[in-house]
Amino acid sequence: MSSPVEVVTEFLESFTRNDPDAIAGFVSEGFRNEHLSALGSNCVGRAEYARRLPHFLAAFADRSYSVEDIVEQGRDACTDIVVQYRFRARYEDVAVDIPGVMWFSIRNQQITRRIDTWDSLTFLRQTGQA
């Protein structure tokens, strides 16, 4: 049985592979994916999340998340994990290195909610769009 921190770190590591089903396997049926960055978009449900993943994986080659800090807090029947990260990838053959913070809610070893805040202005500057 994986701890909530292990669930989150394994989820983030799964993005290094091109397997949307494996990534979506970490989230619950009613998963809520929320983006607080201007360029992000929200979705609800594992099926919708899985439908969007191939586009993300195709757009960002050689992607990885590096965990810079992680905080765990239990509450009621779930555990919240907050991760400060750096996302590194190649977007249209341009290297990007974007800082961000994700807040995960974990229940029964599944991610029920993820709130992602990443620096979209840094992304736009690095890709020559700002």
pLDDT number for residue 75: 82
Give the whole-angstrom CA distance, residue 35 versus residue 38: 8
Tokens representing 113 are: 């909610």
Give the whole-angstrom CA distance, residue 87 versus residue 105: 20
How much is the mean pLDDT over the chain?
Answer: 95
- What mean pLDDT do residues 71-94 have? 94
CATH (domain of 77): 3.10.450.50
pTM score of the predicted model: 0.94
Structural domain that includes position 51: 4-126
Total number of domains in the chain: 1
How far is C-alpha 60 from the chain's CA centre? 13
